[in-house]
Amino acid sequence: MTNAFAPAQTQTLLDLRKGLSDVRVVLVGAAALACQMDMRWCTTKDLDLTVVAEEADLAARLRGLGWKRHERYEQRWTSNEGIIVDALPAAVPVLPRASWSSRSPVMS
């Protein structure tokens, strides 16, 4: 399989992995789908992530990578490569309360 990511997206993910090597990061959204299926009909330039971390810790660590936080959308960051990244923190105490039903897909 070929790389589903543009070079700047790949570098952003590598920087994130290096800078947050001790944190679980899950790629979600269209970029995640592109890893599993042919998405030539639909491209995405951003990356959507769920990160197992407290919001304050995640923000500090992303700033430490040199990423810039969006002024209006607190989950949105711009990587050093100019890639828009929506990073949603999921603190460990919150994870057991998450739910999913195959009949009625609801995540909360």
Domains (range + CATH), the chain? 7-92 (3.30.460.40)
Name the token pair of 4: 């589903």
8 A C-beta contact, residue 90 and residue 51: yes
Give the CA distances from residue 53 to residues 1, 94, 96, in Å, rounded to whole numbers and listed in that order.
31, 10, 14
Looking at per-residue pLDDT, the higher value among 1 and 92 belongs to 92
Looking at per-residue pLDDT, the higher value among 71 and 36 belongs to 71
pLDDT in tens, 29-58: 666 666 666 666 566 678 888 888 888 899
- 47, 92, 29, 87: which is closest to 63 by C-alpha? 87
Residue 26 has pLDDT above 90, yes or no: no
Distance CA 84, CA 64 (A): 17
pLDDT of residue 18: 92
Q: What proportion of the chain, given as a percentage, has pLDDT over 70?
A: 67
